[in-house]
Amino acid sequence: MNKNLLIVFGLFVFQNFVAQQRDPSVILYDRGNAAFARKDYRTADSLFTLSLNIAPHPDSYYNRAASRRQLNDFKGYCLDLNSASSLGDRESSKIYFRQCLKLDTVYKKKSGEKVDKTNFEYIEFITSYKYNLDFEYTKHDTSGKCILSKKRIDDVLFYRNCEEVTNSMYKGSIDSLIDYIGTHPLYIKNIKEKDFSAYTFLELSTDENGKVWEVKSSLFKEDAGAKEFKKILLDMPNWTPAIYNGKSVKFAHKLSIKYFGDVLEIKDISAQTNNGKEIFTVVEEMPEFPGGPMEMMKHIQKNIVYPHKAKEIGVSGKCFLKFVINSDGEISDIEVLKGIPNVPSAMLKL
């Protein structure tokens, strides 16, 4: 099946991890490599862990995974490969999908009879994990529309936004959720008054009674704003619970939250689509710019236009973008998630 992939991209000048020789995390990383080389895998595991506690880096996760494989800790091995993959390590991603996951595609008739892909009415995608009993399941019709989606994490079953499930909702609308958060004392005191400006992704889960019982960040590194949002959301009144087959069920939301100044925008991206096709955030083979990341950076540096006024007033910083890579490799739906804060756009006009 052709897939559309959602990418969140931070454009910034990045430093070479190896070159930071005085960084304590690098010193611990080097000591971990030395311990691994002498086959002291338990010490290597501990040193890589200390390094990661200071500064998460894909190389440290990858090497700790190798240590845990030698220690016969297959679950830890897979989790570390997944963490390295989340930080952009393509080799870790390939190994994780090949060794830690089992992917099944099942073609069926509406009656439930299994058929081949030439005459199916429904298609099921099932991802199971070789290191635990968790799974993810989605069911689509021939047009690609999501019919049912669910996942089991740590023996807890969640449903997700699809046709056969009625979503949990706070007072019936996303606007009610925005009003609740925007007027909450913690938001006003710890985010708005401190002039925090950021964009974050949160996974919010409600139970059978509609109570928000878990909120976690979808981004690998959690900022201060995300921590405050978690406190606010966990303290919320009950939502209307999700319904499947006439029964209340646990439900998992994916929320994108953008906040700066007086602006607070929240979107439920639990089931994003692009022209009727589901948008994926993780796939086995991640898309890549021709020639790799370095060629992409060269292309950006060659083609970017730095506004003259910005140079004059010394404006610089990070700009976060969101875009979709379509199944043919083309980029669409580009959105600036976070630009340079506190700079009037009029000042940057050429």
pLDDT for 88-123, tens place per residue? 888 999 999 999 999 999 999 999 999 998 899 999
Q: What value, to the nearest 5°, has the Cα angle with vertex 110 and ends 106 and 115?
A: 40
- Whole-prediction pTM value? 0.70
Amino acid at 10: G
pLDDT of residue 328: 72
Res 184 pLDDT > 50:
yes
The answer to whether the beta carbons of residues 215 and 203 sit under 8 Å apart is yes
Overall average pLDDT of the 77-94 stretch: 91
Q: Which tens digits make up the pLDDT trace of 192-250?
A: 888 777 778 899 999 999 999 999 887 656 677 788 899 999 999 999 999 999 999 99
Cβ atoms 16, 322 nearer than 8 A: no
Per-chain mean pLDDT for the chain: 83
* Euclidean distance between CA atoms 104 and 145, whole angstroms: 19
Q: Give all strands (DSSP E) within 109-162, no chain letters.
A: 114-115, 122-129, 135-141, 146-153, 156-159
Alpha helix ranges (H) inside the chain: 24-37, 41-54, 58-70, 74-86, 90-99, 174-182, 185-187, 224-234, 293-303, 308-313
Give the residue-averaged pLDDT of 262-277. 70
Residue showing tokens 């990661």: 52
Of 109, 62, 108, 110, which Cα lies nearest the Cα of 83?
62
Q: Are 341 and 321 in contact (CB under 8 A)?
A: no
What is the pLDDT at residue 219? 65
* DSSP annotation of 239: P
Q: H-helix or E-strand containing 324?
A: strand 319-325
Band of the pLDDT at 190, cuts 50, 70, 90?
A: confident
Q: Amino acid letter at 94?
A: K
